[in-house]
Structure formats: C-alpha cells, structure tokens
Structure 1
Amino acid sequence: MLDLRRLEILHRFAARGTITATAAELGYSPSAISQQLAALEREAGVALLERTAQRANLTDAGRELAEHAGRILAATEAAASRMRVRAGTVAGRVALSCIPGLAPVLAPHLATLQRDHPELSIVAHETGAPTAAAAVLDRSYDLAVIDHWAAEPPAQVSGLVAHHLHREEIVVAVPVGHDLAERPGPVTAARLRDAVREETWLCAPPGRLSRLAGDERLAAADASPLRRWEFEGLHVQAAVVATGTGLALLPAELAAEHATITALPLSPRMHRTIQALTRRTASEDPAINACLRAARVALDGR
C-alpha cells in the first residue's frame, strides 16, 4: 500500500522541482523529504528519482506515479469534503492566501470565524495574483483571494472554481486641492494626458496586474508620464498620494480611506474585480465555504 502522505510529497516535488523547495514549502528538512521519497520508492518497488550530487530528478516511473498521486489526492479530498458536509461542522485546517493590501480587511473577520469555531485553524499568507491559481491547484493553499483588472474575467482554470467577491471602481487619486480636482466632471483621456505630463505618476512595478491595466489606460490616452515612481502595494501608493506627492490609479474604496486624497472618476469607467479561487474537489467543504463567506462580508463592509 502506498502511503498517502508520501504521495503528497511526491506530488509537491513534481510541482516544485527540487527537494529543497519541497522541504521549505512543507516545513521539513531536505533530509526528511529525501527519506520520505526513498521510503515511497521502496513501497513502489521501482526507482522514482535519479539522484546526482547536485539535484534529484523524477524518472519516468516517478512522473507517472506523480500523475497518479494528483488524481488520488483529488479523490481523497473530495471524499473528505463530502464527509465534512455530512458532519455539518466547520473544522480542520484551511490555508488561505490573499493579494497584498487585503490582509487588514480580511484578518478581523477570519479571526472572528476562528474564535466562533474552535476546531477551525486558518493559516493565512500574502501572495500575488499571478501565482495564486497554481498554488491552489497544487494544494499549497485551499483558498486564494485575488484581483483582476481587465474588463473581461480571466479564463477558467481546469480544476478550480472562481467565486465573485467584490467589484470596485478605479479612480484617479490626487492630493486634496490638486488642480485636476478643481474642474468638475470625470477625468477624460485628454485630462489624464495633461495631468501625467506635469506630475509624478505612482504605480506598481512591471508585470503587476494593476500596472498592466494602468499602462493600458495611459496608452489609450496617449499619455506618457515623465516621472514614474514604482511601489509594491496599492496601500503604499495611496499613502504617497496622501502626502501630496504624485497621482495614481487606485480602487475608490482605498482612496476614500485617506482624508487628504480626492478620488476622481474616469471616463470611460474602470473597475477591478476581487475573486476567490478554490479547488473543485473541495468546493463543498464547510470550512472553506465559511472562509469564503467571511471574505465576502469583509469586502462588502469596506
């Protein structure tokens, strides 16, 4: 009989590619992971890894067993979720991730949920949206709260369920008293082009979803900022705007948290959507669904 926990280690190793990365994710030492994989080889009766002085690679048999392991773990998870539904209790461990900036919004509600259900253990992390889907699929997380800034929702990922949580307007955030706020009406392409020519433009580093969406809006307006400051995290950008330094595209609800920011609507309008991703095999799990409800309440109450 193949040990289920060792199959999970093999599955993680196949996804991560190295024993060191697998050990770091699972909280074990590299030697412990090597020992567990060696024990799985003895159970399987065939070599699963090719080892060199520098690294270990899966053999053909190892890759085949890792594929079987993925299906076995999915079936086990679906069965366990169904039993928890029958039991009707919110219990067990839920590993959750959220995009930067949302932790202060979600944390109080998740903490309350944990207090209300003593048998529930929530482990929360912060991670970016581009890597969240893969992390949920390989069971690093059970639930990931992400955002997307495109007008159309991203394509569905096989094996995942996307849950709509919240939609919010994106505005041009300017310091109180800024000339742009003195003229009534939304910020058109022409007004945006004039503004960024004279001001410092605050944005995320290249590759971030907010940066891609912002650059697309600037390109559509033929606007080229002369001074661009890049910061991780929308909360950081908002804090800088609030000091009177620069302009940024920010969620309206975030801009509203600062008394020294004026939020100006865009024309045409711009929005971001916040979603949660869960595995299809765990979509009925009462604990995961309780966390989903808590996230939705937290975001609706901002």
Structure 2
Amino acid sequence: MLDVRRMQVLRAVVTSGSVTAAAANLGYTPSAVSQQVAALEKQAGTALLERVGRGVQPTAAGRLLTEHAAVISKNIAEAETALADLREGRTGRLAIRYFATAGATLVAPALAALRRTHPGVKVDLKLIDPQDPLPEVKQGRADLAVVVQPVDRPRDGVRLVHLLDDPYNAVLPKGHRLAAQRVIDLADLADEAWVGSEWPGPCLDVVLNACGAAGFSPGFVVESEDYATAQGFVAAGLGISLIPRTALGSRHPGVVVRRVRGPEPVRGIHAAVRETSLPQPALRALLDALREAAAQ
C-alpha cells in the first residue's frame, strides 16, 4: 500500500526540482527526503525520479503519483474545511420530529430563525404522533423531538428541555349554561357530555388526571382525536371539550372558550435531545430559537 505522506514528499521534490530544495521547503534534511522517496519507490516497485544535471525529474510513474498526491492534498483540504464548517454549525443536517399543534406555534418560527443564522444546515422535518416520540431520539433517528412528556420520566441519555406550559381551556357551545362565566371550576363540568380531543397518551393523561383531581371521570360521548373536529362537535351541541390553548388559534364560530381552574389542566411541552448531541452549534441554536418562540 502506498504511503500518502511519502507521496506528498515526492510531490515536493517534483515541484521544487531537487531533493535539496524540497528538504528546505519541508524542513527535512536532504537525507530524510531521499529515504522517503526510496521507501516509496520500494512500495511502488518502480523508479519514481531520475537525475537530470544537478536536479531530478519524475519518471512516468513519478508523474502519476505526483498528480494523485495533488488530488489527495486537495481532497484533504476540502475535508478539513467541511469538518470545520460542520463543527462550527455552518453546515450539517438536523432531523426534527414534532406534533401538529407545536408546528405552527413553535417549530415554524424556530426554523425560520435557524435558517437566518445557519443557512447551510439542512433540516429533515417530520410530523409524528405525540404519544411517545422519545425512541426517535434515543435510537438516533432524530436529533430533536418536540414532545409532551412528564419531566420525571426516565430518559436514558435524553435531556428534556422545557419550552412552555400549555393550559387546557374549556370549549363550550354558545348558549351553554356556563358560557357567561370567565373562569369555570372543572368540577362543574363533571355531569356534562364530553367530546374527546386527544389520542391516548400524555396529552389525554393530563386531562384525565385533572378530572380525577376534581373528583370525577369525564363521560366521553364522542371521540374525535382532532382539535378542529372536536370544536365542530361542540358547536353542534354534542358535548363540551378541553382543548390546549395552543390549539385554539382558529376557533369555531359556534363555540366559546373559557379558562378552567380547580385544577387547571396543563401539558408541559419539551424539546427532547440526546445528551451527546448538545455540543452541536446548530442544535443549540435551534433550542434557543424554540425557547424564543415559546416565550412569544
């Protein structure tokens, strides 16, 4: 196998025209340069230089290896530049997973900010079910996932970075007996027909746990598992619902929205990242942008 370092010594000899000049340029002794060329000739199985007057010139094999040495030098320089760009966050790729209501409120403005500061970073963005996206991060398929997750859950090398607390509001049909109240006690909804808006998982758990703390279990008569559809069912008079505030940007004209207390159901939204990925500049920039979007 040819030695790349010896090929670079050969290139120095060929471009400078003599062993002595190459030695001066490289900071070697002429003897060390000659030894390196001799060792490379042994590896190549043929002569690489021939004497011409007081200098040397390459043989056909020497010219061939010199040309390849130039290509190798160029590739190494490009690799070093690419590595520096990646290390400094100027290039690279981030795989991001998010759930629907986090898309418009958090992910979209955060990605716009990331594009301004790190335009060379490519983003692989995928919408996923919020039930349990942590395996995507744990197994390296995603660099970051926006999740709804209890902070005390074991995470196996995954850090949860808190972004925002998202309270649930009561969504009532217009004309409902409680519509005139600005804030509704959760227990006052115990005997209502309920419209489900959540998939089984941490979001639904937030609602069920709050209702349990208020002393009842909600009686679901319709399961929509979609916030817009849930509002439509409520507007039609089929029941009431609890929907997180971030999902109420577009409200159905046939409903009213009221705060809830005693207790107020709140889902915590976090960014899940692998501990080993945190040093990446682009990932840190994305986390900062998500925090800024959450603060807005």
Range of TM-score over shorter length: 0.5 to 0.7
Distance 1:239 1:124 in 2: 29
User: SS of the counterpart of 2:160?
Assistant: strand
> Residue in 2 aligned with 1:282?
277
Change (3 A) 1:222 1:97: same
RMSD: 2.8
Deviation digits for residues 88-139 of structure 1 (CA, Å, limit 9, x no counterpart): 3342100000123222222243145225533111111112334322110111
Deviation digits for residues 52-105 of structure 1 (CA, Å, limit 9, x no counterpart): xxxxxxxxxxxxxxxxxxxxxxxxxxxxxxx76995334210000012322222
Please tell me whether residue 157 in structure 1 is matched to residue 172 in structure 2. Answer: no
User: SS of the counterpart of 1:180?
Assistant: coil
Distance 2:295 2:226 in 1: 21
User: SS of the counterpart of 2:190?
Assistant: helix
Distance 1:232 1:280 in 2: 33
> Residue in 2 aligned with 1:39?
none
Q: Cα distance, 1:267 vs. partner?
A: 1.2
Is 1:161–1:278's contact at 8 Å kept on the other side of the alignment?
A: yes
Deviation digits for residues 241-294 of structure 1 (CA, Å, limit 9, x no counterpart): 456553211223433542643223221222111100111111111111122122
Is 1:85–1:284's contact at 8 Å kept on the other side of the alignment?
A: no
> Residue in 2 aligned with 1:113?
114
Structure 2 unmatched runs, 5+: 1-82
Q: Percentage identity across aligned positions? A: 25
Residue pairs, 1:177-196, within 5 angstroms:
177-183=175-181, 185-189=183-187, 191-194=188-191, 196=192
> Residue in 2 aligned with 1:127?
128
Distance 1:233 1:88 in 2: 41
Residue pairs, 1:37-186, within 5 angstroms:
87-105=87-105, 106-114=107-115, 116-148=117-149, 153-183=151-181, 185-186=183-184
Q: Cα distance, 1:154 vs. partner?
A: 2.9
Is 1:172–1:266's contact at 8 Å kept on the other side of the alignment?
A: no
> Residue in 2 aligned with 1:53?
none
Select 1:228's aligned residue among 200, 221, 224.
Answer: 221
Structure 1 unmatched runs, 5+: 1-82
Distance 1:103 1:276 in 2: 13
Distance 1:271 1:214 in 2: 8
Change (3 A) 1:235 1:116: farther
- TM-score, length of structure 1 as denominator length: 0.60
Select 1:203's aligned residue among 167, 191, 197.
Answer: 197
Is 1:170–1:269's contact at 8 Å kept on the other side of the alignment?
A: yes
Residue pairs, 1:242-261, within 5 angstroms:
245-255=238-248, 257-258=250-251, 260-261=255-256
> Residue in 2 aligned with 1:269?
264
Change (3 A) 1:86 1:117: closer
Distance 2:207 2:139 in 1: 31
User: SS of the counterpart of 1:125?
Assistant: strand
Is 2:138–2:156's contact at 8 Å kept on the other side of the alignment?
A: no
User: SS of the counterpart of 1:281?
Assistant: helix
Mean Cα deviation higher: 291-300 or 219-228: 219-228
> Residue in 2 aligned with 1:299?
294
How many aligned residue pairs are there? 211
Distance 2:206 2:168 in 1: 10
Change (3 A) 1:109 1:243: farther
Q: Cα distance, 1:231 vs. partner?
A: 2.4
Residue identity opposite 1:266 in structure 2:
R
Kindly name which structure, 1 or 2, has the bigger radius of gyration based on alpha carbons.
2
Change (3 A) 1:158 1:242: same
Distance 2:205 2:266 in 1: 13
Is 1:84–1:285's contact at 8 Å kept on the other side of the alignment?
A: no
Residue identity opposite 1:265 in structure 2:
V
Residue identity opposite 1:279 in structure 2:
R
Q: Cα distance, 1:239 vs. partner?
A: 5.3
